[in-house]
Structure 1
Amino acid sequence: MTARITRPTGIPLWMQIETTLSREILSRKLTGRLPNEQALAERFSVNRHTVRQAIQSLQQKGLIRIERGRGTFVQEEMIAYRLGKSSRFSHSLSDQHLVSDVDIQSSHFEPASEPVANLLQIAPGNPVLRVESLDLADGKVVSVCTQYFPLPRFDGFIDIYRASRSTSDAFKNFGIASFQRVLSRISARLPNPEVAAALRQGKQQPVLYIESVYADTNGAPIEYGITRFSGDSVQIEVLPEGL
């Protein structure tokens, strides 16, 4: 099947091809061995050099691997985390037909540090609920999370969270049917030993470190979260409505 490439947009042809193939890989429409360069060139009505540029970009992003003598293969374990104003990681997993789950490791109350207090717009030292958990996709740990919820607004939140295994569902029990992401910060950091062990990776291998703040419809912050992903298994996509 020939795919239409919109040439007048000003976006290079190889980039348009790379975007198309990336979406097919992340949605699991394209799996296993990738068609060879000639087949892809015919599909997109371009020359093989243009296809080769797209393939190189996909390889650099970790979406595919090239095995000498065998061909080019999709990295099946790559997961897309689509950052949008109202989306959470579980939404991205559901879109990719992956079963999401949360393994709550611990929870306790503590006084908010100044950085946490600033992000939640509360006074330093005010109590917050801190939750440590693991995000799972089809039973595999894909991220290590720390979440902070302001108190006393969310007194009793942890019991509902443990039962529902969903932050969004727990929020609904507090009358918050909708919310939005008001801050996202993405950086690369070296993991501590506990995070590296949970993600089953080396301590010298950086993780994607994502900080998020969510607010209710009145603009009041309801959660500050830190999520650490293995860079080899998760790709971050920032949606236009999430900018």
Structure 2
Amino acid sequence: MVERGSGVSLWRQIEETLAADIAAKTLRERLPNEIELAGRFGVNRHTIRRAVQALEGRGLVRIEQGRGTFVQEDLIDYRLGHKSRFTHSLQTQRLTGGSRVLGHDEVIARENISSLLELPAHSRVLKVESLDLVDERVVGVCTQYFPLPRFAGFAEPYAESGSTVLTLREFGIVECRRKLSRVTARLPKPEVAQQLAQPKTQPILYVESVYADADGVPIEYGITRFAGDAIQLFIEPEQ
């Protein structure tokens, strides 16, 4: 219960109590709803809402629209190695994940994309929009570009398998290497924040990568906008 007249606001007392529960791991996964918490502490729902918003501001919980409030899990390690992709990092940590393809189209590559993929100007590429999910949570919003005509028909098996690696194998590419990675922190666009179920004021990790086949020919340029409270990057030196 909370102490009225103690000089400390009720919502702050509730925030600290819940934070202590999270630290002690007596409060895990999903928080009780506002009605349950209001009953526990003997306050109104507005007071509970303010306490939970303060916990979100501290990065202890995340509020998912339409689903509820969840204790923030440990960060997922994304190892930026010469041969590793995000799926490899998940396998190492025994996490379940995959990609959900939202749409695809054939487009004329912009100048910077043509340059990164070492293509002539005005080349056509396959553009795929997808979401990266880990244990059913959206942790990344992705845009990938694949050279055409080499990867014509790539989107359909990709949507079915939910794996870039497995689909590349169908196109005869057993091994690919990371040729470039560029990481910046920035604020998300509103639609990206909504897809990641995070506030627009919370930074994301904006990761650009270029992958090449065994012969060194670029096969993919990808942009992933990772939830900043879900992913931490590890830079692995080349062996």
Determine which of 220, 223, 226 is the counterpart of 2:223.
Answer: 226
- Cα deviation, residue 101, structure 1: 1.7
Query: What is residue 178 of structure 1 aligned with on the other side?
Result: 175
Determine which of 153, 165, 175 is the counterpart of 2:150.
Answer: 153
TM-score by length of 2: 0.69
Residue deviations 1:49-90 (CA, integer Å, cap 9, x gap)? xxxxxxxxxxxxxxx97xxxxxxxx96341111111111111
Structure 1 runs of 4+ with >3 Å offset: none
Query: What is residue 240 of structure 1 aligned with on the other side?
Result: 237
The amino acid that maps onto 1:203 is K
Query: What is residue 103 of structure 2 aligned with on the other side?
Result: 106
Q: Secondary structure of 1:101's partner?
A: strand
The amino acid that maps onto 1:162 is A
RMSD value over aligned CA atoms? Answer: 2.0
The amino acid that maps onto 1:114 is E
Name the larger-Rg structure: 2
Q: Secondary structure of 1:155's partner?
A: coil
Give structure 2 stretches of 5+ with no counterpart. 1-22, 26-58, 61-70
Distance of 1:189 and 1:118 partners within structure 2: 24
Query: What is residue 115 of structure 2 aligned with on the other side?
Result: 118
- Cα deviation, residue 218, structure 1: 0.7
Q: 117-126 or 75-84, which moves further after superposition?
A: 75-84
Paired residues in the alignment total 175
Please show how residues 136-215 of structure 1 align to structure 2 within 5 Å.
136-215=133-212
The amino acid that maps onto 2:169 is K
- Cα deviation, residue 102, structure 1: 1.1
Query: What is residue 82 of structure 2 aligned with on the other side?
Result: 85
Distance of 1:154 and 1:131 partners within structure 2: 11
- Cα deviation, residue 33, structure 1: 4.7
TM-score by length of 1: 0.68
Determine which of 100, 123, 128 is the counterpart of 2:125.
Answer: 128
Q: Percent identity?
A: 52
Give structure 1 stretches of 5+ with no counterpart. 1-31, 35-63, 66-73
- Cα deviation, residue 241, structure 1: 2.0
**1:101 and 1:139 in contact (8 A); partners too:** no
Q: Secondary structure of 1:185's partner?
A: strand
Distance of 2:74 and 2:131 partners within structure 1: 17
